[in-house]
Structure 1
Amino acid sequence: MKIAAGQFTCVPADVAANVRQMTVLAGQARAQGAELVVFPELALTGYELETVLADPGLWATADDPRLDMLRDSGIATVVNCAAATGGPRPAIETLVFGADGELLTSYRKQHLFEHEQAVFTAGHHDGRFDFNGVRFALATCYDNHFPDLTARGSADGCQVHLASSLYGTGSGVDELTAIYPRIAKDSNMHVVLANHVGPAGAWTGCGRSSVWAPDGTLSRKATQPRPCSSRPTSDEAGLLTHETSSAWLFTLEVYDTPLKRAAVTPSKLPEPPIGPARQGAAGGPTSVARLAGTAADGRS
Structure 2
Amino acid sequence: MPPLAPLPSAPLTVAAVQAEPVPGDVAGNAGTAARLVARAADAGARIVVLPELFLPAYHPPTLAADPVGTDVAAAGDRTVDDPRLTALSEAAAAGGVTVVIGAAVRHPDGRRTISSLVVDRAGAVRAGYDKQQLWGGERELFVPGTQGATLSVGDWRFGLGICYDGCFPEHGRAAALDGAHGYLCPSGYLTGSEHRRDLYYPARALDNTMYVVFANSVGGADPWHFNGGAAVYDPEGRTLARATDTGEEVLVVTLRPAQLAATRAAHSMLVDRLPDQGSARLFLLG
TM bin (shorter chain): 0.7 to 0.9
Q: Deviations over 1:156-187 (max 9, x none)?
A: 111110001011121x1011111111100011
Identity of matched residues, %:
33
**1:201–1:60 CA distance, 2 compared to 1 (3 A):** farther
CA distance in 2: counterparts of 1:216 and 1:31, whole angstroms: 27
| Aligned equivalent of 2:253 | 252
1:52 aligns with 2:67: no
C-alpha separation in 1, matches of 2:127 and 2:108: 18
- Residues 55-96 of structure 1: CA distance to partner in whole angstroms, max 9, x if unpaired? 222101321111111111122111111111245552101111
Give me the whole-angstrom Cα distance separating, in 2, the residues matched to 1:209 and 1:257: 24
1:53 Cα deviation from its structure 2 partner: 2.6
Give the superposition deviation at 1:201: 6.5
Q: Which one has more relative contact order, counting CA pairs under 8 Å at least 6 apart?
A: 2
Cα distance in 2, alignment partners of residues 24 and 103 from structure 1? 17
| Whole-Å separation in 2 of the counterparts to 1:200 and 1:41 | 16
1:211 counterpart residue number: 232
Q: Note if 1:164 corresponds to 2:182.
A: no
> C-alpha distance in 1, partners of 2:252/2:25?
27
Identify the residue that residue 184 of structure 1 maps to in structure 2.
Answer: 205
**Equivalent pair of 2:105/2:127 in contact (CA under 8 Å):** no
Q: In 2, are the aligned partners of 1:18 and 1:45 still within 8 Å (CA)?
A: yes
Find out whether 1:15 has 2:42 as its counterpart. Answer: no
Partner of 1:137: 159
Gaps in structure 2 of 5+ consecutive residues: 1-11, 74-79, 261-286
Cα separation, 1, equivalents of 2:61 and 2:134: 15
Query: Post-superposition shift, 1:224?
Result: 4.2
What does residue 292 of structure 1 align with?
Answer: none
What are the Cα deviations for residues 235-292 of structure 1, in whole angstroms up to 9, with x where unaligned?
xxxxxxxxxxx52001110113449xxxxxxxxxxxxxxxxxxxxxxxxxxxxxxxxx
Query: Which residue identity is paired with 1:198?
Result: G
Q: Unpaired segments of 5 or more residues in structure 1?
A: 226-245, 260-300
Task: Tell me how far apart the structure 2 counterparts of residues 206 and 52 of structure 1 sit (CA, whole Å).
Answer: 20
1:1-300 aligned within 5 A: 1-55=12-66, 56-61=68-73, 62-73=80-91, 74=93, 75-86=97-108, 90-103=112-125, 106-170=128-192, 172-199=193-220, 202-224=223-245, 247-258=248-259
- Aligned pair in 2 of structure 1 residues 35, 64: CA closer, same or farther (>3 Å)? same
Count of residue correspondences = 238
Query: Where has structure 1 moved over 3 Å in runs of 4 or more?
Result: 86-89
Measured in 2, the distance between the counterparts of 1:53 and 1:220 equals 35
Report the AA paired with residue 63 of structure 1: D
Alpha-carbon displacement from aligned partner over 1:211-248 (angstroms, at most 9, x marks no partner): 110011111110045xxxxxxxxxxxxxxxxxxxx520
| Partner secondary structure for residue 203 of structure 1 | coil
What letter corresponds to residue 175 of structure 1 in structure 2? R
Counterpart position of 2:276: none
Aligned counterparts of 2:176 and 2:221: Cα–Cα separation in 1: 31
SS in 2 for 1:72: helix
Q: Is the 8 A contact 2:115 2:127 kept in 1?
A: no
Q: Deviations over 1:1-28 (max 9, x none)?
A: 1101111011111112111110000001
Larger Rg belongs to: 1
Shift of 1:32: 0.9
1:105–1:129 contact (8 Å) kept in structure 2 = no
TM-score, structure 2 as length reference:
0.79
Q: In the TM superposition, what is the alpha-carbon distance from 1:105 to its structure 2 partner?
A: 5.7
